[in-house]
């Protein structure tokens, strides 16, 4: 059914969101029929989107040119969050294998992290790459809580955010004051790191200052309870675009200004787990939402590394 412009499900809550909305663009469902989608990552050089179907243990590929969907890799360790490093390689959080992996240009898979100080990771969840090449990822046990997203297992250590230097292999704790760290992204100048915390309650999003490669001064960025964010990405103006769950009227994407004000929503018929920017001009927002993947052209561009 055609959508009358402007799309009524793109909701302006603050005047700062209006310039980011295109009046002649509608939300499109570009792929469906999955169990739980996550981790969209854009490959501009090939004009395709990679995303995860976590319970089906598959990395999927959507082709922008012809709209086709294909399995990129399965089994894939129950993949969750994805991004690209600064050399264009796919970085994947695997809930089932409880590893952080890198897919090389020839298709081979390299395990980047599996243990911390001799203890197995609880399950990398989401990931972002800084301009210096370091990889920051959350480890929150989503795959060990049951047998749907991974393999049920006891929790052996705290949930944390880690920083990996792939040049040396050094893995260090970046954040250890969260109950269950989840989605994360850097501000455009990389002076801030936004991290979602998703315990049973309350679910909050925090922001940290990045000083000499360390996350410091953690504080509240926004509290949108009873709804909550999951994966998130930043645009070049510093706005934070969050996959969001909260029921009808909230499911989809919530957009926050750099000061933490909710400025807009993109409403979807499904809860949204994660987002990324892509397309030829990096102005197309891709939304991994439960059983489907959606897309929307916006007047914003995503920052690299997410």
pLDDT computed for residue 67 by the predictor: 97
> For domain 10-297, which CATH number applies: 3.30.70.260, 3.90.1200.10, 2.30.110.10, 2.120.10.30?
2.120.10.30
Domain boundaries, the chain: 10-297
User: Is 38 assigned to a binding site?
Assistant: yes
User: 242-253 burial, b if ≥16 CB within 10 A, otherwise e?
Assistant: bbbbbeeebbbb
Report the pLDDT averaged over residues 117-141: 97
Q: What is the pLDDT of residues 55-79, one digit of tens each?
A: 999 999 999 999 999 999 999 999 9
Residue 230 marked ligand-binding:
yes
pLDDT band at 2 (very low <50, low <70, confident <90, very high): confident
Q: Of these residues, 7, 57, 197, 230, which one is catalytic?
A: 230
Helix, strand, coil tally for the chain in percent (to 5): 0, 50, 50
Which two three-digit tokens encode residue 41? 């990552």
Cα–Cα distance measured from residue 171 to residue 159, given in angstroms and rounded to the nearest whole number: 14
Residue 182 marked ligand-binding:
yes
Q: Helix, strand, or coil here: 213?
A: coil
pTM comes to: 0.97
Percentage of the chain beyond pLDDT 90 is: 94
Residue 147 assigned as binding residue: no
User: 97-117: per-residue pLDDT in tens?
Assistant: 999 999 999 999 999 999 999
Please write the tens of the pLDDT for every residue from 138-187. Answer: 999 999 999 999 999 999 999 999 999 999 999 999 999 999 999 999 99
Q: Does 230 qualify as catalytic in the annotation?
A: yes
Contacts of 73 (CB under 8 A, 6+ apart): 58, 59, 103
């Amino acid at each position: 059914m055609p959508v009358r412009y402007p799309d009524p499900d793109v909701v302006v809550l603050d005047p700062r969101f209006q310039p980011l909305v295109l009046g002649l663009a509608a939300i499109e469902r570009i792929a469906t029929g999955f169990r739980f989608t996550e981790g969209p990552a854009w490959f501009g050089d090939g004009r395709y989107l990679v995303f995860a179907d976590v319970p089906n243990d598959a990395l999927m590929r959507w082709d922008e040119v012809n709209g086709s969907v294909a399995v990129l890799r399965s089994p894939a360790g129950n993949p969750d969050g994805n991004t690209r490093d600064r050399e264009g390689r796919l970085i994947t959080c695997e809930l089932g294998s409880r590893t952080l992996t890198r897919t090389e240009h020839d298709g081979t898979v390299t395990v980047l992290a599996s243990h911390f100080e001799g203890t197995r990771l609880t399950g990398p969840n989401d990931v972002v790459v800084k301009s210096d090449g370091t990889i920051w990822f959350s480890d929150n046990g989503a795959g060990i809580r049951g047998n749907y997203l991974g393999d049920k297992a006891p929790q052996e250590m705290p949930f944390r955010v880690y920083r990996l230097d792939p040049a040396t292999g050094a893995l260090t704790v970046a954040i250890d004051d969260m109950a269950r760290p989840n989605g994360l992204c850097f501000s455009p100048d990389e002076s801030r790191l936004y991290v979602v915390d998703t315990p049973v309650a309350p679910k909050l999003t925090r922001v940290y200052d990045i000083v000499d490669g360390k996350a410091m001064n953690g504080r509240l960025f926004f509290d949108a309870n009873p709804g909550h964010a999951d994966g998130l990405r930043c645009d070049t103006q510093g706005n934070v675009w969050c996959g969001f769950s909260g029921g009808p009227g909230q499911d989809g994407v919530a957009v926050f200004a750099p000061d933490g004000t909710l400025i807009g929503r993109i409403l979807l018929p499904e809860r949204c787990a994660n987002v990324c920017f892509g397309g030829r001009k990096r102005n197309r927002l891709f939304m991994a939402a439960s059983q489907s993947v959606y897309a929307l052209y916006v007047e914003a561009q995503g920052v690299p590394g997410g």
